[in-house]
Amino acid sequence: MTRSNLWMLLFIVLSFITALCLAPLLKKILTKRKAEQTVLGYVKQHENKTGTPTMGGWIFVIPAVVFPLIFYSTFSLVSSMATLSYAVVGFLDDFIKIRYKRNLGLKPYQKIIGQVGAAIILGFFCFNNDFIGSSIKLPFTFAEFDMGWFIVPFVALIYIAVTNGVNLTDGLDGLAGYVSIAYFMAFTVILCGYYADALNGGDVDYAKELFGLCITSASFLGGLLAYVCYNSYPSSIMMGDTGSLALGAGAATVAVFSRQPFLIVFAGIMFVVSCISVILQVFIFKIKKKRIFLMAPLHHHFELKGFKESKITACYFSISVIGGILAIIAARLL
């Protein structure tokens, strides 16, 4: 095992310990401040979750923001700022929900302005960065595709899609957490491989940047492993939009900065499924006035079909692990 791999394992452990120590303290503060979840009225099966402390996403957000900065690089700095900026948008949304005791926080246009603004800035960063630029890698091949200036809106679209995909998946206890664990496990392996390639090829500057990105992925992984200890069914704390938007930003960052955005389709397959199920539900209903699912996103459909939350979460996690393995194969096969 190489030294870099040992560093990644160390950061997973450090993030896990940090998050595990933060969790009870944060839970105590949130409970005292009555930062409680208000469940949507039409999700009757989750009425008993009202009153559960929310904004628990800080449990894994803090390690994911802080630890990448230890070994400073441009990638680590920007990845931390991307995670933090989306966490702040989510925090504002959660704060309004808590303040006014409702499930609707920021108005849709306010929320999207924050997301799009950060996404566009990140798109320009990618375009102007020598190690990212305008080309992306194509899975299962050595080929690259140069998108030119279109890389800016493309990157912005990825950030918006992934953050909303994670947000939609965060509907059952432990669901978004476990799916994200599988995602970051895959990208930690992939990024460690890219780091070793750059180092062996003598590209020390690029290797340094990739090392920072590796730490970002490893820090998310460690933090999430601690978080699900509290968020697994029955959940004693919820991540809120603070966590789901930050998680989506981190997931998009490790894929985009490694120039492997299409791997999201594999490693984040259940995020994709959540988005598609909502899009199909809305589209078909507008055309035929019929619902193809009992409720969207898809995990709520399975709930209403009688499946237990823990069973749905286990299946989503298993599929995500397989998707992560396919992502590793797609990135490293050739």
DSSP secondary structure string, 63-104?
HHHHGGGTS--HHHHHHHHHHHHHHHHHHHHHHHHHHTTSS-
pLDDT of residue 302: 96
Counting the structural domains of the chain, the total is: 1
Q: What's the domain range around 279?
A: 3-332
Phi-psi region for residue 118, left (φ > 0), alpha (ψ -120 to 50) or beta? alpha
pLDDT of residue 97: 83
Per-residue pLDDT of the chain (334 residues), as tens digits, is 677 789 899 999 999 999 999 999 999 998 888 777 666 554 556 556 667 888 999 999 999 999 999 988 999 999 999 999 999 999 999 998 888 766 667 888 888 999 999 999 999 999 999 999 999 999 999 899 999 999 999 999 999 999 999 999 998 999 999 999 999 999 999 999 999 999 999 999 999 999 999 999 999 999 999 999 999 988 899 999 999 999 999 999 999 999 999 999 999 999 999 999 999 999 999 998 899 999 999 999 999 999 999 999 999 999 999 999 999 999 987 6
pLDDT of residue 39: 60
pLDDT of residue 251: 98
Virtual CA dihedral for 317, 318, 322, 327, nearest 10 degrees? Answer: 0
Count CA atoms closer than 13 A to 275's CA, side-chain side: 17
Virtual CA dihedral for 146, 150, 156, 157, nearest 10 degrees? Answer: -90
Which of 105, 155, 112 minimizes the C-alpha distance to 257?
A: 155
pLDDT tens string 124-136: 999 999 999 999 9
pLDDT of residue 221: 98
Is the C-alpha dihedral spanning 10, 188, 63, 25 positive or negative? Answer: negative
pLDDT of residue 98: 84
pLDDT of residue 78: 98
* φ, ψ for residue 146, nearest 5 deg: -90, 115
